[in-house]
Structure 1
Amino acid sequence: MNIFCAGLNYKTTSLEIRERLAVSDDEMEKLLRQIHSIEGVFGAVVLSTCNRVEFYASTLCPLQALGGCRSILQEQTGMDIPLYHYSTPDAVRHLFRVASGLDSMVIGETEIFGQVKNAYSFSAKRDMTTHTLHRLFQHTFRVTKHVRTETNITRGASSVGSVAVQLAEKIFGKLEQCRVMILGAGEISERTARSLQSRGVRSLIVSNRHYDKAVALAAEMGGMALHFDHWDKNILDVDIIISATGAPHAILTVEKLKPLLKQRQGRPLFIIDLAVPRDAEPSINKMEGVFLYDIDSLQKIASESIEVRRQEVVRCESLIEENVREFLRCMKNKTLFQQAH
């Protein structure tokens, strides 16, 4: 049985294409079933984040699995999107690197570990994994923890959210006097809010489509919750908007902001758009007083702290290679045992 991986990420595909491939929770089960139905595929896990969409499968024929994945994406987008692809042992190595943050936009970021765990759990709860995939992902979780504890790969900014906060500091200096509005109370918004609080922000507004989530996060952070329908009415005194709503369309538009900016009397508004699909129309960056950064723009900030982590990559790669060999030995011994019985 082969372990197969195919996918695309921020290094191989533009943000515009990744937006078209973003998978909601409602769509994930359908996509999993499509992958699972490919001839020769016995189990599947789909990892979908802002920066990557990857398919992991246990299969008898990796080439057949690759063809099936390409067909599914072509049907979804109407485009022939190039995919990188690996089979054992490269697929094992790739997953270890992804979960450890070595393949992330910000090297060593920790959000991806939780996203990998959630992707596996989603598939396992629907009985779409196999014993091989179970062993692979459990081993992956151990490897990731080992890499974190044995190296300094997580030093400095450890997520896209914390890099976004560093960007705000570059713009404003100290953040104590800044008023910040967070649109979306999901995981990435929560991490960003915690980073903001650690940098001294005292005035924080949280707005979310599900008001109870906004209330919970605002209470935890000592901020104020706001009904999502009213966020635009409270923008006049805000300095920074950090948006990650997961909405299927832009909510920060020229049409929406134009009348509001007139009332701000020339005060700058910095918008950090962490969402995929994007929450902000790119054209608002041309508006007077508006400065927009999307998730790809954060790479410039990330590069400043990345050199420290790069020095740790060699150690991380060595640990991963040891664990790839260990995993393959375990799988080989399991196969020999089954053949003997």
Structure 2
Amino acid sequence: MLLCLTVDHRRADLALLERIERRTEPVTAALSDSEFARGAVVLATCNRFEAYLDAPGLAPEEALSGFARAASLDPAELERACTVHRGDTVAEHLFAVSSGLESAAVGEGEIAGQVRRAIDAARDAGRSSAELERLFQRALLVSKQIKHRTGLQRKGRSLVQLALTMVDSRVGDWAEARVLLIGTGAYAGASLASLRARGATRIGVYSPSGRAEAFADSHGIRPVASDALDAELRDTDLVVACSAVHEPLLTRERFDETVTEGAPPFCARFGGLEADPRPRPAPRPRLLIDMGLPRNIAPDVAGVAGVELLDLETIALHAPIPELGAELEARDIVRTAAAEYAATRAEREAVPALRELRSFVNDILDDEIARARSRGAGRDGGGEIEAALRHLAGRLLHRPTVRLRELGREGRATEAAAAVSALFGE
């Protein structure tokens, strides 16, 4: 049976998603145990964590318990935040997810790539299964179909696009704005494309893993070294952070220091000296967009004067309502594709019965052909006789084959297998 455990932005807050994200490796290892499931694919994005399991006989309660232990979570807390999909509903859910219909920014384009990377990672690690391969490949096809038929994903919607729209009026002239991109992964590439689409040209990149120079060279932007980060933060108008870190990279202390270092000189009231009477200018405004999960920027940075922080929770709250017609059409495509996938999967359940029937008929056919050859039928048109017999067997099997597949699609594969076994079994 297929099983999906999903924790997403609808039922879980960012703090819980962060805690799970930090335990991705042990959770994946636990759910991929061969004694637990035949296959497992983990999909972790900025606003969801999902585990797809090919696990016949596995109870959802057992799967949740294993998930909670590996993630070091209280089982009751995880159960409140987790939605469980099983059987045929797993396909419909994944098709909707891969098409961007379950994202905070409905129709986002990045999710299909994340789904593709999830199944690729599972395959490379030997954690996938034939059933999960079929499921994920079909999901990617449905995503493409929705993109081309509805245009839902051609709008360029994504959380970073939404965030840039939210700060658009504050940035003003994008061509003059100094932008710092933190991170060099797939989401950093998408963020860079979104920034350039708005006209940003003065872009630097910093990587805590040391990949800034390679990324900058391949994308035609400026690398920022570790020892230059604080100076860069003082001069930057906008920071877009999307790095894979386990603890916040930018803390309040770092921003307090940059504000202090950039402030005009003051004289303390000490030894009879008066404070500098010149008015101190307001701190230079800086915009921070945190796309990381776990967070790249500590939440209390928002308390620093002159700093405005948008994190995933804030961005998701302002996600716009999508065009109703496009979404309705996309959901109809998802439902139709899921129904067809379920029917095809049920049809495969009839294959053992079909194989048994064909084996019975072909064994008799081979015996008759061998007998005919032993009587000298190989001469004087024996080939034509053999071809005729095989053609006859094919015609005799056609209707039972069609009916067995129909019974499978109707969910009656067990009934079909019992009938074949009763009529032709030993």
CA contact (8 A) 1:190 1:217 kept: no
Deviation per residue, 1:163-214 (Å, 9 max, x gap)? 2222231322331111001111111122111111121112111111244x32
> Which one of the candidate residues 282, 302, 305 is aligned to 1:285?
302
Cα distance, 1:126–1:172 mapped onto 2, change above 3 Å? closer
Deviation readout 1:53-102 (Å, 9 max, x if unpaired): 1111122224x244233333244223221221111211110010000100
Separation (CA, whole Å) in 1 of partners of 2:65 and 2:116: 25
> Which whole-Å CA distance do the structure 2 matches of 1:172 and 1:340 have between them?
66
1:77 aligns with 2:72: yes
Displacement, 1:275? 0.7
Bigger relative CO (Cα 8 Å, ≥ 6 apart): 1
Asked if structure 1 preserves the Cα contact closer than 8 Å seen for 2:238 and 2:288, the reply is yes
Partner of 1:98 in structure 2? 97
Is structure 2 residue 25 aligned with structure 1 residue 34?
no
> Cα gap change, 1:23/1:119 in structure 2, threshold over 3 Å: closer, same or farther?
farther
CA displacement at 1:126 relative to structure 2:
2.3
Amino acid in the other structure paired with 1:127: G
Among 235, 246, 249, the alignment partner of 1:248 is 246
Q: Which residue is 1:259 aligned to? A: 257
Q: 1:199 & 1:20 partners in 2: Cα distance?
A: 34
Q: Secondary structure at the match of 2:200?
A: coil
**Offset at 1:133?**
1.2
CA distance in 1 between counterparts of 2:63 and 2:133 reads 22
Counterpart residue type for residue 141 of structure 1: L
- Is it true that 1:274 corresponds to 2:291 in the alignment? yes
1:297-336 correspondence to structure 2 within 5 Å: 297-303=314-320, 306-308=321-323, 310-336=324-350
Indicate yes or no: 2:171 matched with 1:175: no
Structure 1: which amino acid aligns with 2:322? E
Describe how 1:46-195 pairs up with structure 2 within 5 A. Answer: 46-62=42-58, 64-80=59-75, 81-82=78-79, 83-195=82-194
RMSD over aligned Cα atoms: 1.9
- C-alpha separation in 1, matches of 2:235 and 2:177: 9
Bigger Cα Rg: 2
Tell me the secondary structure at the aligned position of residue 194 of structure 2.
helix
Opposite residue 229 of structure 2, the aligned amino acid is W
Q: CA shift at 1:141, angstroms? A: 1.1
Which residue pairs with 2:235 in the alignment?
Answer: 237
Query: How far 1:38 sits from its partner (Å)?
Result: 7.0
After TM superposition, give the deviation of residue 159 of structure 1 in Å.
Answer: 1.3
1:23 is displaced (CA, Å) by 4.8
Would the aligned equivalents of 1:22 and 1:50 in 2 still touch at CA under 8 Å?
no
The alpha-carbon deviation at position 329 of structure 1 amounts to 2.0
Q: 1:276 deviation in Å?
A: 0.9
Moved more, 103-112 or 148-157: 148-157
Cα contact 1:6–1:66 (8 A) shared by 2: no
List, as ranges, runs of 4+ consecutive aligned residues in structure 1 with deviation greater than 4 Å.
Answer: none
1:295 matched to 2:291: no
Tell me, yes or no, if the aligned pair for 2:176 and 2:200 is still in contact at 8 Å: yes
Q: Normalised by the size of structure 1, how large is the TM-score?
A: 0.91
**Unpaired runs of at least 5, structure 1:** none
Q: Per the alignment, in what secondary structure is the counterpart of residue 38 of structure 2?
A: strand
| Counterpart in the other structure of 2:216 | 218
Aligned-residue offset at 1:157? 4.1
Contact 1:207 1:227 in 2 (8 A): yes
Name the stretch that deviates more: 49-58 or 165-174. 165-174
Distance 1:20 1:12 in 2: 15
> Per-residue deviation at 1:37?
2.7
Give percent identity, aligned residues only: 23
- Aligned partner of 1:278: which letter? R
Deviation readout 1:255-303 (Å, 9 max, x if unpaired): 1111211306521011111111111121111111111110111124422
Distance 1:217 1:146, change over 3 A: same
User: Displacement of 1:245 after TM fit?
Assistant: 1.8
Amino acid paired to 2:68: L
Unaligned runs of 5+ in 2: 264-280, 356-426
Cα distance between partner residues in 2 of 1:243 and 1:178: 16
Which deviations, in whole Å up to 9, do the C-alpha atoms of 1:306-330 show, x marking residues without a partner? 332x331110111111111211221
8 A Cα contact 1:250 1:281, kept in partner: yes
> Is the Cα contact below 8 Å between 2:68 and 2:74 reproduced in 1?
yes
Q: Partner of 2:379 in structure 1?
A: none
Superposition TM-score, scaled by structure 2 size = 0.74
Bigger share in strand: 1
| Matched-pair contact (CA < 8 Å) for 1:165–1:192 | no
